[in-house]
Structure 1
Amino acid sequence: MNILIIKSSPHKKGSSNLLAENFIRGAEEKGHQVSIFDAGHAKLHPCLGCDACHMNGLCIQKDDMTELRSQILDSDMAVFVTPIYYFGMSAQLKTVIDRFYSFNSELMEKALKTMLIAAAWDSNDWTMKDISAHYETLCRYLNFKDQGQILGIGCGNVSMTKSTEFPEQAYRLGKTI
């Protein structure tokens, strides 16, 4: 299976990316092909809402979303990786998802397998409620086939994250895909 990891943290060595690396290790050991798109450091612009694409065409903006679009459409699975900022996804990942507008129909028809990996400093039991609900709504709307969620609470920095069960959970999930 071709798996596309969409990282969205501005911190290349941050907690969400640590969880992603554990997932990748498991998926590659299982024999999957993994590629990475770093939305946290890509040249991406927000959707203009101009509707030039008519939800089923090319976006008029010329940025790294052109590359990501082809990577997603060539993949069997996409993994959304994000730190939690104020109980939601990073602005970088939100920008990517908003830009799906230009190829909504293709995404819906593809029935792409997806997964969410998120890391939050907070460890309250309600910390991941909203991002999980948002992701599940995206799956319903875009006909994504959810393959699981790693919702890493208490993962405020790399050393905190390493001391939780979430790196191992991510690895095991990568092995079971």
Structure 2
Amino acid sequence: MKIVVLEGSPNKNGSSNLLAECFKQGAKEGGHSVEVVDTAHANIHPCTGCIHCGYEGPCVQKDDVEMIRKKILSADMMVFVTPLYYYGMSAQLKTMIDRFCAFNSSIQRKHMKSALLTVAWNSDDWIFDALEAHYKTLVRYLNLEDMGMVLGYGCGTPSMTQHSQYPKQAYILGNRLK
């Protein structure tokens, strides 16, 4: 299976990217190909809502989204990776997802698989509720098959994350994909 990982953390050495690396290692060892796209540091402009794309491209904006679009549409699975920022995904990842507007139908027709990898400083049991709801809505709208989530509670620093159960969970999620 061909997997594209959309990293949305502005911190290149942060906890969520650590989970992405563990997932990637597991998936590769499971026989899958994995490409990581750093959406947080890519040249991605916000969707303007102009609908010039007609909901199926091309977008009038000339940035990195066309290249990322090709990677997504050539993949069998999309993995969303984000730190928890104010009870939701990072603005950087959300900006990329908003640009799906120009190729929603193509994603929907592919019946891709998906997963969510995320971390939060807080360990309250409700901390991921809004992000989980948003992710599940994306899964439903984009006609994705949810393969699982790794929700890293209490992972405020990469050191905390590294010594938690979550890197292993991410590895296992990647490794057990069929």
Q: Report the TM-score, using the length of structure 1 for normalisation.
A: 0.98
What is the Cα deviation at residue 55 of structure 1?
0.6
Matches within 5 A, 1:27-176: 27-176=27-176
Percent identity at matched positions? 54
Q: What is the alpha-carbon distance in structure 2 between the residues aligned to residue 57 and residue 37 of structure 1?
A: 20
Q: What is the alpha-carbon distance in structure 2 between the residues aligned to residue 52 and residue 174 of structure 1?
A: 37
What is the Cα deviation at residue 94 of structure 1?
0.3
What is the Cα deviation at residue 2 of structure 1?
0.5
Cα deviation per residue 1:76-121 (whole Å; 9 max; x = unaligned)?
1010000110110000110011000011111111111111001111
SS at 2:140 equivalent? helix
What is the Cα deviation at residue 72 of structure 1?
0.3
The code of the aligned residue for 2:121 comes to: W
Runs of 4+ in 1 over 2 A off after TM superposition: none
The code of the aligned residue for 2:107 comes to: L
What is the Cα deviation at residue 165 of structure 1?
0.6
SS at 1:80 equivalent? strand
Cα deviation per residue 1:34-79 (whole Å; 9 max; x = unaligned)?
1111001100000000010111121100101011100000001010
1:22 matched to 2:15? The reply is no
What is the Cα deviation at residue 32 of structure 1?
0.6
What is the Cα deviation at residue 164 of structure 1?
1.3
How many residues are treated as equivalent by the alignment? 177
Q: Report the TM-score, using the length of structure 2 for normalisation.
A: 0.98
What is the Cα deviation at residue 3 of structure 1?
0.6
SS at 1:71 equivalent? helix
Superposition RMSD on alpha carbons, in Å?
0.6
5+ residue gaps in structure 1? none
Q: What is the alpha-carbon distance in structure 1 between the residues aligned to residue 137 and residue 118 of structure 2?
A: 16
What is the Cα deviation at residue 163 of structure 1?
1.9
Cα deviation per residue 1:100-152 (whole Å; 9 max; x = unaligned)?
00111111111111110011111100011110110000111110111101111
What is the Cα deviation at residue 162 of structure 1?
1.3
What is the Cα deviation at residue 168 of structure 1?
0.7
Q: What is the alpha-carbon distance in structure 2 between the residues aligned to residue 57 and residue 42 of structure 1?
A: 19
